[in-house]
Amino acid sequence: MTTTAPTFDLLDEPWITVTDHSGVAQEMSLRDVFAHADRFAALGGEVPTQEFAIARLLLAILHRSIRHRRGTAVEIWSQLWDQWPGEDIDHYLVEHRARFQLFHPATPFFQVPGLRSEKDAVSSLDKLIADVPNGAKYFTTRAGRGIERISFAEAARWLVHAHAFDPSGIKTGADGDARVKGGKGYPIGVAWAGGLGGVYLEGANLRETLLLNLVLADPNDVRFSSADLPPWERDPDGPGVRDVNGPSGPVDLFTWQSRRVRLITSSSEVTGVVLCNGDALEPFNKHLLEPMTGWRYSEVQSKKSGEPRHYPAVHSPEKSLWRGLRSLLGDVASSAPLGGRGIAPGVVEWVGTLLDRGVFLDGHPIRLHAVGMHYINNQSIVGDIVDDAISFSAALLASDPRLWVCAVNAVQVAEAAVDELGALAANLTLASGGEPDGARGRAREEGFFALEAPYRNWLRGLDPQTIDYDPSASQWEQTVYTIIRRLGDELITSASQQAWVGRPVRERWMDTSLADERFFQRLRNLLPSVFTQRILTQEGETTDGERADVAW
CA–CA gap between residue 515 and residue 350 (Å, rounded): 48
- Would 419 be classed as within a structural domain? yes
pLDDT for res 338 = 79
Task: Residue 466: give the domain boundaries.
Answer: 402-544
Other CB atoms within 10 A of residue 255 CB: 25
Among residues 263, 226, 257, 261, which one has the least CA distance to residue 244?
A: 257
Length of the chain equals 552
Same domain flag for 289 and 423: no
**CATH number for the domain including 514?**
1.10.132.100
Written as one string, the DSSP assignment of 325-347 is HHHHHTTTT--S-STTS-B--HH
- Would 311 be classed as within a structural domain? no
pLDDT for res 99 = 97
pLDDT for res 533 = 56
For 57, 59, 215, the CA distances from 250, given in Å and listed in that order, are 11, 9, 9
- Would 10 be classed as within a structural domain? no
What is the average pLDDT across 454-467?
88
What is the average pLDDT across 527-550?
51
Task: Return the H-helix or E-strand segment holding 517.
Answer: helix 512-526
Q: Which residues pair with 343 in a beta bridge?
A: 295
Written as one string, the DSSP assignment of 21-35 is TTS-EEEE-HHHHHH
Tens digit of pLDDT for each residue in 357-393?
999 988 899 999 999 999 999 999 999 999 999 999 9
Same domain flag for 288 and 410: no
Same domain flag for 53 and 194: yes
Other CB atoms within 10 A of residue 175 CB: 16
Q: Which amino acid would we find at residue 516?
A: D
pLDDT for res 204 = 95
- Would 369 be classed as within a structural domain? no
What is the average pLDDT across 68-90?
96
- Would 416 be classed as within a structural domain? yes
Listed range (5-9, 276-280, 464-468, 474-478) with the worst mean pLDDT: 464-468
What is the average pLDDT across 196-211?
97
- Would 80 be classed as within a structural domain? yes
pLDDT for res 146 = 52
Which band of pLDDT confidence, cut at 50, 70 and 90, is reported for residue 543?
very low
CA–CA gap between residue 345 and residue 329 (Å, rounded): 8
- Could you give the 3-state DSSP secondary structure of residue 551? coil
- Would 171 be classed as within a structural domain? yes
Tens digit of pLDDT for each residue in 239-254?
999 999 899 999 999 9
pLDDT of residue 320 exceeding 80: yes
| pLDDT cut 70: percent of the chain above it | 93
Among residues 467, 199, 481, which one has the least CA distance to residue 344?
A: 199
- Would 318 be classed as within a structural domain? no
Tell which wins on pLDDT, 349 or 147. 349
pLDDT of residue 528 exceeding 70: yes
pLDDT of residue 535 exceeding 70: no
What letter does residue 101 receive in the DSSP assignment?
A: B
Tens digit of pLDDT for each residue in 50-67?
999 999 999 999 999 999
What is the average pLDDT value for the chain, to the nearest integer?
A: 90
Which band of pLDDT confidence, cut at 50, 70 and 90, is reported for residue 333?
low
CA–CA gap between residue 520 and residue 514 (Å, rounded): 10
What letter does residue 316 receive in the DSSP assignment?
A: P
Which band of pLDDT confidence, cut at 50, 70 and 90, is reported for residue 120?
very high
Q: Which of 294, 325, 346 is the last residue of a domain?
A: 294
Same domain flag for 285 and 412: no
pLDDT for res 549 = 32
CA–CA gap between residue 81 and residue 30 (Å, rounded): 20
8 Å CB contact between 508 and 443: no
pLDDT for res 142 = 56
SS (H, E, C) 113-174: CCCCECCCCCECHHHCCCCCCCCCHHHCCCCCHHHHCECHHHHHHHHHHHHHHCCCCCEECE
With a CB cutoff of 8 Å and minimum separation 6, the contacts of 304 are none
Q: Which of 259, 294, 329 is the last residue of a domain?
A: 294
Same domain flag for 108 and 234: yes
Q: Which of 294, 327, 347 is the last residue of a domain?
A: 294
pLDDT for res 538 = 36
State the total domains in the chain.
Answer: 2
Tens digit of pLDDT for each residue in 175-196?
999 999 999 999 999 999 999 9
Q: Is the dihedral of CA 23, 29, 30, 34 positive or negative?
A: negative
- Enter the pTM of the model: 0.90
- Could you give the 3-state DSSP secondary structure of residue 97? helix
CA–CA gap between residue 470 and residue 241 (Å, rounded): 56
